[in-house]
Amino acid sequence: MIPEITTEELEQKLKAGEKLELIDVREDEEVAGGIIPGAKHIRMGTIPENLDQFDKEKEYIFICRSGGRSANVCHYLQDQGYKVVNMKGGMLDWSGETE
């Protein structure tokens, strides 16, 4: 079972100043339309070759357009022993700031 966070819950945590590890797994052209401030962009297809950028002690929140791709990434990384959370609804549901 993959833990989930809603866009509203994430927005509240960011507004409260919580330091979160956000990873946007969308394609370059999607991210060009806006990314959550502070999120790191690592395309879904490049996650396996970027495992060295992840720390098993930290929890990561994964983001995509609608929540499907990020859920797949969460399953993959959870199987590798990482702490993951999927942002439910993805950027389609995000009403907070983007940059």
Catalytic residues: 64
Dist CA 63 CA 42 (whole Å): 10
Beta-bridged to residue 59, according to DSSP, are 83
| Entry field: residues in the chain | 99
Dist CA 80 CA 65 (whole Å): 24
